[in-house]
A and B are shown apart, each in its own frame.
Chain A
Amino acid sequence: MDFDYSDDQKFLKDEARKFLAAHCDVAVVRGVLDNADRSFDEKLWKGVAEQGWLGASIPEEHGGLGLGRVELCAIAEELGRVVAPIPFASTVYFLAEGVLAHGTDGQKAAILPRIAAGQLIGCLATSEGPGVVGPATLTTRVEGGKLFGTKIPVTDGDVADTALVLASEGGRPGLYLVDLKQAGVARETLKSLDPTRGVAKLTFDGAVAERLGAAGAGFDIVQAILDRAAVLLAFEQLGGADRCLEMAKEYALGRYAFGRVIAGYQAIKHKLADMYVKNEVARSNAYYGAWALNDDAPELPIAAAAARIAASEAFWFASKESIQVHGGMGFTWDVDCHLYYRRSRQLSLVAGAPKVWKERLVSQLEQKNAA
């Protein structure tokens, strides 16, 4: 048993933190937040590509660094700490991981080296409206290799080059690779809770679609991709939650009320202790998820769900209570609390809401404990 990052992984994580401190300070995040025309920071994206992070877990033969998934988790944690305004999750956790796990050799060769080189942004398009996507409600369809229908909202759909689109073909769900730069694709940028990430409505009218994975297996493949992504997203959430606790602590130690630092008041101390407890529960579940992801363990679906549920809860709690600790300052645009509050909502919803994951977890436990 070994439940921590190795020394090499810690080194990588420290380096990532240093890089992000230098290249992703809050001015970078606000540069995207305050500018309606930008949904990510191109310079940071280039820098991250140069660091090799986009291809961290892509095998060397496809132009990546060929590192394990725990290394990717370490990077994710650091990206989460600084609410990095880049389409990293969409490109790496969804597209790259999806193609690695389910793509043909040809698809891998076509997509992975471009991702690793920072030349291709990805996205995952499943939602078609409010509520949970299910087989009964899926209206996007593929006919003769052409895609028709509308996906909304698609995170990073405004800037992505390639989308993974869930659609039905002959009444059965499939997952399709779609080049978004072709005719037959219309995009409309939408406003979202977290303007540091772009969101779009994608309309397909006869766009060429190439299937990823087996016919009729679309829902299962999406779920498998989400299981992997859930672990990585949990690390981003954990990084964000840790930062919220730090910010709340720093503020509480400097703010006086009634003649004392507010950090000395038990209501505030216990709030921060509660944050700590939730963050540690999230960290422990995330580590288990990282192991399951890295080892492709059969426990992955359960581990991923647990990691996602714990991390979503921790980040939500830390982000909302951090604002509370900051008082009126916390409610201002100028203080960074809301960046984390926004990102906590974005990350909790982008791969399906916690409620959906709770149901997934329990149905898995039901199967496991059926006997």
Chain B
Amino acid sequence: MDFNDSPEEAAYREKARTWLAQSAAAHRAKWGELKPNTPEHMAAAKDWQATKAGAGYACITWPAAIGGGGGTPIQSVIFGQEETKAGLGYGYFTIGLGMCVPTVMAFADSDTKKRFVSPAVKGDEIWCQLFSEPAGGSDVAALRTRAVRDGDDWVINGQKVWTTGAHYCDYGILLTRTDPDVPKHKGLTMFWIDMRDTAVECRPIHQMSGGREFNEVYFTDLRVKDSQRLGEVGDGWKVALVTLMNERLAVGGSAGPNYREIMKLARQLSGTTGPALKDQAFREKLADWYVQSEGLKFTRFRTMTALSRGQTPGPESSIGKIISANQLQELANTAVEMEDQYGILVDPDQAPAEAVFQQSLMWAPGLRIAGGTDEILKNIIAERVLGLPGDVRVDKDVAFKDMPTGR
């Protein structure tokens, strides 16, 4: 049990810190403070990603030969910590580098890998994950987007939904149905596609949070080459599982205000009987949030320890999102209620802490759904970790085309 850096880790941290001090300042001098989801913000993000890649700080655990840093998982965590402290970190690349590109690396031929991995690491190209559909969210394998073989090509028709970043992405991994006559999991096939193809139409969706980060994506006779297939025909579910497993690692910890920020707010506001920070009910909640956040942080450290000892990480990471998403929602709501009548205001110029709690309140419901709902994650823990029986699956032996459907 050692919480401190080992000498090698400390040296790496020092090196990263020194590099960040200079590079982050230079980056800020060039780009200043930009509003998220603007073209300038995206350009800044790409610039920062390229800077990191040049110094071996992008995709730290990937081999240097493909553009990564050739480092260890612990180094990646250390750099992440220091990058957060330096106040930098853009979200645009998480899905591509965390989920899509690893899937490409696992299933594509060597030319495809050579073509795509390094541009993605440098931030030149961004990827999205085209899995969910109106008929298949939690039950992804119920998706209906059809891919039909036509000589050397496949022709794809259908619709995806809630695809984060589709509107700015260059490529995507797309899960399709290639055989409706077999049970749902057996008739799927995965492809990579060019998002700029004219047969791909992307319509941003207005989210309840007010943002427009995810999209509907339509395919009308989209032609892809058979060489764009990832994995065997009919083996798409196996390929998708690799993506989904990486997803749980990638989305474990979530950004957003934590116990520190709400403590700061509570210090400034008055409560019912004195400063809000002295309210006993609030203090108990604060203690719980601290304990949960630290618990998650140290759980990640346990995963790192397992990795550094050459073990495969356990399922600990699946608990991360359940806790952090729910905590964000409760914490944000407590902060908003603490502001009393004023809490209704969401205007960043008026609301305390630039309305970050109001924004989190409106974003948290999505966090509890994206990347697996609370209920699905609990099923995963129950079935894969604890070994309990699966839910009753009435569609298991039914051909996809005969499956009952709802709305």
**What is A's interface to B at a CB cutoff of 8 Å?**
1-5, 70, 245, 249, 252-253, 260-261, 263-264, 266, 268-270, 272-274, 276-277, 280-285, 287-288, 290-292, 294-295, 297, 299, 305-306, 309-310, 313, 355, 357-359, 361-362, 365-366, 369
Shortest CB-to-CB span from A120 to chain B, Å, is 29
B291-A281 in contact (CB<8A): yes
How many of B's residues come within 8 Å of A, CB to CB?
54
Q: Quick one: CB contact mask for B346-386 with A, threshold 8 Å, 1 for yes?
A: 00000000000000000000000000000101110111011
From B3, B291, B383, B388, give the contact of A1 (CB < 8 A).
B3
Known pairs A4-B302, A273-B382, A362-B286; A280 contacts B3 (CB<8 A): no
In the bound complex, do residue A270 and residue B4 qualify as a contact, i.e. CB atoms below 8 Å apart?
A: no
Tell me if B287 counts as interface (CB < 8 A to partner A). yes
A358, B291: Cα distance in complex, Å: 10
Q: Does residue B284 face the partner (Cβ distance < 8 Å to A)?
A: yes
CB-CB nearest 3 A-B residue pairs: A281-B295, A358-B287, A284-B298
**Which of B290, B292, B305, B375 makes the CB contact (< 8 A) with A2?**
B305
Instruction: Verify B389–A291 contact, CB threshold 8 A.
Output: no
Can you name the residue of chain B whose Cβ is closest to the Cβ of A274? B378
With a cutoff of 8 Å between Cβ atoms, the chain A residues found around residue B152 in the complex are none
* Residues of chain B with a CB closer than 8 A to A264's CB: 388-392
Q: By the criterion CB–CB under 8 Å, are B319 and A306 in contact?
A: no
Question: Which one of B9, B264, B296, B305 lies within 8 Å of A3 (CB-CB)?
Answer: B305
- In the bound assembly, the distance between CA atoms of A77 and B150 in angstroms comes to 62
Complex interface: chain B residues within 8 A of A295 (CB): 3
| Per-position binary interface string of chain B over residues 304-337, scored 1 when its CB falls under 8 Å from any chain A CB and 0 otherwise | 1110110000001001001100000000000000
Question: Do B263 and A269 touch (CB < 8 A)?
Answer: no
**Chain B residues, CB < 8 A from A288:** 3, 294, 298
In the complex, how many angstroms separate the beta carbon of B5 from the nearest chain A beta carbon? Answer: 6
Q: How far is the CB of A235 from chain B (nearest CB, A)?
A: 11
Could you tell me the distance between the alpha carbons of A264 and B390 in the complex, rounded to whole angstroms? Answer: 6
Q: Is the CB of B74 within 8 A of A1?
A: yes
Q: Are B291 and A310 neighbours in the complex by a CB distance under 8 Å? A: yes
19 other A-B residue contacts (CB within 8 Å) besides A2-B2, A281-B292, A309-B291:
A1-B2, A3-B2, A3-B305, A252-B388, A263-B389, A270-B375, A270-B378, A273-B379, A276-B381, A281-B319, A284-B302, A287-B302, A288-B3, A295-B3, A305-B287, A306-B295, A313-B291, A355-B284, A369-B260
Chain B residues in the interface with A (C-beta under 8 A): 1-6, 9, 74, 259-260, 263-264, 277, 280, 283-284, 286-288, 290-292, 294-299, 301-302, 304-306, 308-309, 316, 319, 322-323, 375, 377-379, 381-383, 385-392
Highest count of chain A CB atoms <10 Å: which of B6, B283, B305, B388: B388
**A369 and B263 contact, CB distance less than 8 A:** yes
Cβ of B276 to closest chain A Cβ, rounded Å: 13
- Give the Cβ gap from B315 to chain A, nearest Cβ, in Å: 9
Of A282, A284, A291, most B-chain CB atoms within 10 Å: A284
Given A1-B305, A281-B319, A310-B386 contact (CB < 8 Å): no
Can you give 27 A-B contacts (C-beta < 8 A)? Answer: A1-B4, A1-B9, A1-B305, A2-B2, A2-B308, A3-B3, A5-B1, A264-B390, A266-B375, A266-B391, A268-B388, A269-B382, A269-B386, A270-B375, A273-B382, A273-B386, A276-B319, A277-B323, A280-B316, A284-B298, A284-B302, A285-B294, A287-B298, A291-B1, A306-B295, A359-B284, A365-B263
Residues of B within 8 A of A306 (CB): 290-291, 294-295
Question: B291 contacts which chain A residues (CB < 8 A)?
Answer: 281, 285, 306, 309-310, 313, 361
